[in-house]
Amino acid sequence: MKRRLIALAAACAVEACTPAGNSTTGERGTVHKAEPMPARFAVGRTATPAEVAAWNIDVNAKGEGLPPGKGDATAGAAVYAAQCASCHGAKGEGMPPNPKLVGREPRDFSFATTTTAVKTVGNYWPYATTLYDYIRRAMPQLAPGTMTPDETYAVIAWILAENEVIPRDKVMDATSLPAVVMPARDRFVPDDRAGGKGFR
């Protein structure tokens, strides 16, 4: 192999095998370089506004994406009983593996140092808007996407009220939901790991 490379190098030296342009001539004959890639291949088609609207269902922490509608915990109790209780328990106590939804302990967020703490909406979730985003996309599990905005706001109000995050008569809507400050809001920190020496 080495001898072959030397021979090739010698041939190149004589024949000037890397001439200007997009080809090389040598033992393999003339070999062309690939054409440079375009900035765009112009593959795919333009999405229509209707297509975007149909799938653009996410809600962020500012409440962007929340639809019109409203509901309170009283209305939410009925929605919860009908749609949620069979998996999450009558009072949101959870039915493993279906998670517990209600509970404020440990109020000091000591999840790392205790081994018995169970995460709930009230003790762990940093943003109330996440409830709307998640329920709309995935709940109830056997019929996702079937609850109306009023039902969704109402059941969220029930979950938050049961967690003592909002008063029972507080109405949840596109304005009030993003304004709810969750108990664990300030418990979350950015990732400070970066590889290298030392363990974090």
The residue ranges that bind another protein (CB under 8 A) are 37, 39-47, 51-52, 55-62, 97, 108-117, 119, 121, 124-127, 129-130, 133-134, 137-138, 141, 144, 187-197, 199-200
Shortest Cβ distance from residue 194 to another protein (Å)?
8
**In the complex with another protein, which residue's Cβ is closer, 13 or 194?**
194
Rounded distance, CA 66 to CA 152, Å? 11
Q: Is 145 left (phi over 0), alpha (psi -120 to 50) or beta?
A: left
Task: Choose among 97, 103, 100, 87: nearest CA to 144.
Answer: 87
Question: Six-digit token pair at 188?
Answer: 């979350």
**In the complex with another protein, which residue's Cβ is closer, 1 or 42?**
42
**In the complex with another protein, which residue's Cβ is closer, 29 or 190?**
190
Question: Six-digit token pair at 9?
Answer: 């190098």
Shortest Cβ distance from residue 39 to another protein (Å)?
6
Shortest Cβ distance from residue 22 to another protein (Å)?
18
Shortest Cβ distance from residue 67 to another protein (Å)?
16
Rounded distance, CA 26 to CA 161, Å? 79
**In the complex with another protein, which residue's Cβ is closer, 62 or 91?**
62
Q: Which helix (H) or strand (E) holds 14?
A: helix 2-15
